[in-house]
């Protein structure tokens, strides 16, 4: 169940550490969440990808898709 695993990951890796912002500064919580999601989907090593970051894995195995990624903070 990928959705349940992701929900647990986001809860344990992000929400538990920023829960106070959820009730005091929702805009800041959402900003931090957006940054975390970029990190999770582009930079964080993933077990199923041989401990490679998703962006590195994608560019290594499908270099033609590089144009699909916007310029972020890399």
pLDDT (tens digit, 9 = 90+) per residue, 21-61?
999 999 999 999 999 998 988 888 888 888 988 888 888 88
pLDDT of residue 23: 94
Phi and psi of 50, rounded to 5°?
70, 35
pLDDT of residue 71: 57
What does the CA dihedral 48, 16, 70, 44 come to, rounded to 10 degrees?
A: -30
């Amino acid at each position: 169940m990928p959705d349940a695993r992701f929900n647990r990951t986001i809860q344990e890796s992000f929400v538990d550490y920023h829960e106070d912002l959820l009730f005091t500064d929702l805009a800041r919580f959402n900003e931090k969440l957006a940054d975390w999601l970029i990190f999770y989907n582009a930079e964080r090593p993933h077990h199923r990808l041989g401990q490679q970051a998703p962006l590195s894995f994608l560019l290594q195995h499908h270099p033609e898709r590089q144009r699909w990624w916007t310029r972020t903070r890399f």
